[in-house]
Every structure is written in structure tokens, then in C-alpha cells.
Amino acid sequence: MMDHRDVMLPLSLRTLATRTLLLLVIASAVSCSSLPPEDGIRVVSAEKRIDLTGPIVKVFLTLKVENAPTASEASRVLLAFTPTEVQHLSIVKATRAEGKRKKKAFVPLSIEPSELATTAPDAPRLYSVLLSTPLKPGDATTLEVLYMLTHSLEPFPAEISQSESQLVYYRDSAVLLSPYHVLEQVTYIKMPSNRIESFTRVDPTTRAGSEVKYGTYNNQMPNSYLPILVHYENNRPFAVVEELVRKVEISHWGNIQITEQYKLKRHVLNHKGVFSRLEYQSRPSVSGASSFKNLLVRLPPRVHSVYYRDEIGNISSSHLRTNSHKSELEIEPRYPLFGGWHCTFTIGYGLPLQDFVFESVDGRRYINLTFGCPLLDTVVDDLTVKVVLPEGSKNPQPVVPFVTEKHLETSYSYLDVVGRTTVVLKKKNVVGEHNVPFQVYYEFNPIFMLAEPLMLISAVLLFFVAFIAYLHMDLSIRKSS
């Protein structure tokens, strides 16, 4: 029964995906006229480079856009994504090339989801890139866009045995999905190895080694979509942290304690049949090519009291290397992770307070930490960062360079009376690019540092006083002779 279901699931998923794509094509054909770009922007030339070498899909777009001479000034440029892409979209960045030739500089631009055209369920979702200086009629500019997709590689066959290597599908469109008219466009797909099982041909299509080139296509209508499918080998470990909770506890006595709870999964594909330790040990290179053993955690320098454990105890297989620039913790799960195997663990470490907590100009304090997951090369589906401020802190204010879900809660720990204010930040689809500093500002009066020691002192004092009082009191009802 179980096996049956395991096989069924990817199949149905696949049909669902194809159906979505079909619908999308139809929808785009229908809705192309209903989505008129309000200004006369068109894409003069577009280059799309898709990097499929890792578990995360990275797409680099170079768009040369031009404003029609007759139109008004354009303050934004729209990007289109399919609904599936939006679900897996982890990061979008855009820069604009300014200046000519040698003085060329790339200015980062902000991006926000656009409310346009989200009525139809299968219609493309639009993101608008806000231009720093509006594009005058008749002018052209070049935009560089980078976006990353997680969970976009589908293993096929869905189950492999220990010694087989892992093959995956990647789906996209040969032409650029765009609400604008595209005059000229190429797509390059870069794969990790020469082993490409198959790829859809949409002429002109050429393959050179591990790269497939689609195009050049000319004069594409807005919202055109030509589905392609690439089937290739990708043995990079697909480590996915399904859930990560990072808890940062600040103590103004000089320590920051960080506890990270990981729920790790070797993603998507399932391990078929038996796991043979003999083969795993005797032929480590062949067998278990797609399993993984080691994970590297990059920690800040001067880290101390590092531990690595799970629900049932300490895990002894880890190594810590520290130097003055960084600390690296190499951890090994209890067992090698094959497809679909789970593993949860907790890493904890302490950091010196003065490296991360500072006083700002206005007298407030702030902690400055890295946001993302310290594991290298992993995707975090669900990241929660909890910053536990010391007891007595007021007015916490997080500053994060991207959109996160925020709320406040109260947590209790040793000797807490009123509880500690905790700032909770949540984000989905986190990748390495999210490892950027963020700050939490708060007000803290150092007198609160003395609260707990004073409490202990008075408790001990009370105990002794009570004892002395007891010794000096005669509680008997009748005086004994």
C-alpha cells in the first residue's frame, strides 16, 4: 500500500504540472490582449541564463528595454512569472546599468509585487521594478535581473537505489515570459555535467557540452510561452531544511546564545529498496553518489561552547575549526541521508556580546546579526528567527532589508519574572543570498542586569534570616522542664 502511494504521488504531480502549463499557454494566449502595458515599453533584446548546476535554480536576465517615443515617461518595468515560479521564488534582485561604457555602474533597484492582472488563477504574476530615474520616451536602458527558484527540479525517476545517480527534470519556457513585446531573445541553460538525457527542441536549439542554447527568437508577442523540459543528471545533494528556528538570546552580562533547530530532509526523490552498509562502506564513490555525509556550518569568529545534538542526545561526529576570521563547524548527521530520509538536530553556540551588540547614536542598543541559515548551499523552506531581548527591554524594532513576517511574543527562561520580549521574524524560501545583516533596535536600562543577582541574594538572605529566626524561637506550647 505504501509503495503504491509513493509511486502515485509524483505521477499525479507531474500530470498536474503539465496541465497547469497547458492552461497557462491557453490563458496567456487569451489574456495577452487584456494585459496592455500601460506605457510603450518593449524589450529590445533579452538574454536569459539559467544555472542548473546546483540544487537551486539561478536565473540571470539581461533586458534591454526601450520606451516608445510616443509614450509618457515610464517609472517601472514589469517582470512576469508563472504562478508555480512565484511559489518557489526565493529572491529577485534587479540592477540598472547607468553611465556609458567605462563609467558604467550598476544601481540596485527595488522590486515590489504588482497588483496588476492577478485575477485569473493561471495568469502570469507581475513584479514591478521601480526605476530610480524614469525612462524618458525614446530612451533605452539595460536591466540586470537575478532570481532564484527553489524546489524547481523534479527527480525522474522518482525513486533510485543506492548506487544510481540522480536525474532531474527542469521545466521552463524557451522564450521569455514578459508582458511586453520582445524583439530578440536567447536562453542559455547550464547543466552540471555532460550527461543530459533529453531536452525539448524549439528550433533553433543547439547544444554545446553541458550547455543548451535556445534562440535566437525574434519578435515574440507579449505573454508568449513555449514549454521546454530538460532531463539531466544532478548529483548535488539536495539538502533542504524544512524548518529552521534560530533563537538568539542576549545577555548583557556578555554573552549571546544562539540555538538553531534544524529539520533537515534529503529532498524530493525517494530512496528505493535497500540500504546496504557494505556497499556504502566499500565503494563510497559509486554507491550513494547522491547521498550526503557532511554539512558545513559557517559560524562567526570567536564562537564558543558549540554543541550539536538531537532529541536523544549528543551527536559525536562533528569538528570545529576556528580562526580569527571565521569558524567552521563540520557536522555529520547520525546516518548518511538518502533520498527522502529525514534528520533533525540542534546546533547551539555562544558569541561574545561586544561583537554583535552596539549602542546607536540615539542611546538605543541594537544587535547586528546575519539573517539566513549558516549551513552552506541549502534552502530553508521556513525560517523563524527569534531574538530574545534581555528582561526589561522596551520598544523593540527590527530592521530587515527584505519583507518578513514580524510579531512580538514573551518568553521565559531562568529566573524571569515578567518575561523577555522576543522579536519573531519569519520568512519562507530562504537561500544563501539572504545571509545579510539585520538589526533589532531596543531600549535597555542596565539597571535591569542587577535584578536577577539581587533576587538570588535576597532569597539566600531570607533563607538565613528564617533559619536564625527559627533557632531563636520557641514554638512549643508547653515549656518543657
Partner 1 sequence: MAPPALDSLPAPLRSLRLKTKQQELLLRVSALALIYVLAFAVRLFSVLRYESMIHEFDPYFNYRTTLFLTENGFSEFWNWFDSESWYPLGRVVGGTLFPGLMVTAALLHRLLHALSLAVHIREVCVLTAPFFAANTTLVAYAFGREIWDSGAGLVAAALIAIVPGYISRSVAGSYDNEGVAIFALLLTFYLFVRAVNTGSLAWALASAFGYFYMVSAWGGYVFIINLIPLYVLVLLVTGRYSQRLYVAYNCMYVLGMLLAMQIRFVGFQHVQSGEHMAAMGVFFLLQVFFFLDWVQYLLNDARLFKSFLRITLTCVITVGALALGIGTASGYISPWTGRFYSLLDPTYAKDHIPIIASVSEHQPTAWSSFMFDFHILLFLFPAGLYFCFKRLSDATIFIVMYGLTSMYFAGVMVRLILVAAPAVCLISAIAASATIKNLTTLIRTKSRSPQTTSGKTTGSKAAAKGAVDQSLPFQHNAAIALLLGAFYLLSRYAIHCTWVTSEAYSSPSIVLAARGHNGGRVIFDDYREAYYWLRQNTPPDAKIMSWWDYGYQITAMGNRTVIVDNNTWNNTHIATVGRAMSSYEDEAYEIMQSLDVNYVLVVFGGVTGYSSDDINKFLWMVRIGGGVFPVIKEPDYLVNGEYRIDKGAAPKMLNCLMYKLCYYRFGELTTEYGKPPGYDRVRGVEIGNKDIKLEYLEEAFTTSNWIVRIYKVKPPKNRS
In the complex, minimum distance from the CB of residue 318 to partner 1, in angstroms, rounded to a whole number: 12
End-to-end CA distance of the chain: 86
Buried b (16+ CB within 10 A) or exposed e, 392-425: bbeebebebeeebeeeeeeeeeeeeeeebbbbbb
In the complex, minimum distance from the CB of residue 478 to partner 1, in angstroms, rounded to a whole number: 16
Cell representation of residue 96: 540598472
In the complex, minimum distance from the CB of residue 270 to partner 1, in angstroms, rounded to a whole number: 11
CA distances from residue 17 to 125, 217, 292 in whole angstroms, order as listed? 17, 25, 29
Work out whether strand 342-352 and strand 255-266 pair parallel, antiparallel, or are unpaired: antiparallel
Residue written as cell 515599453?
41
Cβ proximity to partner 1: between 115 and 311 the closer is 311
In the complex, minimum distance from the CB of residue 50 to partner 1, in angstroms, rounded to a whole number: 33
Q: Which residues bind partner 1 (CB under 8 A)?
A: 1-3, 273-278, 282, 310-317, 334-335, 340-344, 412-417
Cβ proximity to partner 1: between 211 and 310 the closer is 310
In the complex, minimum distance from the CB of residue 414 to partner 1, in angstroms, rounded to a whole number: 5
DSSP string over 273-294: S---HHHHHH-TTTTTTT-B--
Buried b (16+ CB within 10 A) or exposed e, 93-132: ebbbeeeeeeeeeeeebebeebebbeebebbbbbbbbebe
Contact 74, 135 (CB under 8 A): yes
Q: Is 456 helix (H, G, I), strand (E, B) or coil?
A: helix
Cβ proximity to partner 1: between 79 and 248 the closer is 248
Residues near 183 by Cβ (< 8 Å), separated by ≥ 6? 42, 43, 44, 45, 218, 219
Cis peptide before 204 (omega within 30 of 0): yes
In the complex, minimum distance from the CB of residue 150 to partner 1, in angstroms, rounded to a whole number: 22
In the complex, minimum distance from the CB of residue 62 to partner 1, in angstroms, rounded to a whole number: 44
Cβ proximity to partner 1: between 206 and 282 the closer is 282
Cβ proximity to partner 1: between 253 and 412 the closer is 412
Cβ proximity to partner 1: between 105 and 274 the closer is 274
In the complex, minimum distance from the CB of residue 314 to partner 1, in angstroms, rounded to a whole number: 5
Cβ proximity to partner 1: between 341 and 402 the closer is 341
Alpha carbon distance 314, 357 (integer Å): 30
Cβ proximity to partner 1: between 37 and 333 the closer is 333
Alpha carbon distance 43, 140 (integer Å): 9
Length of the chain: 481
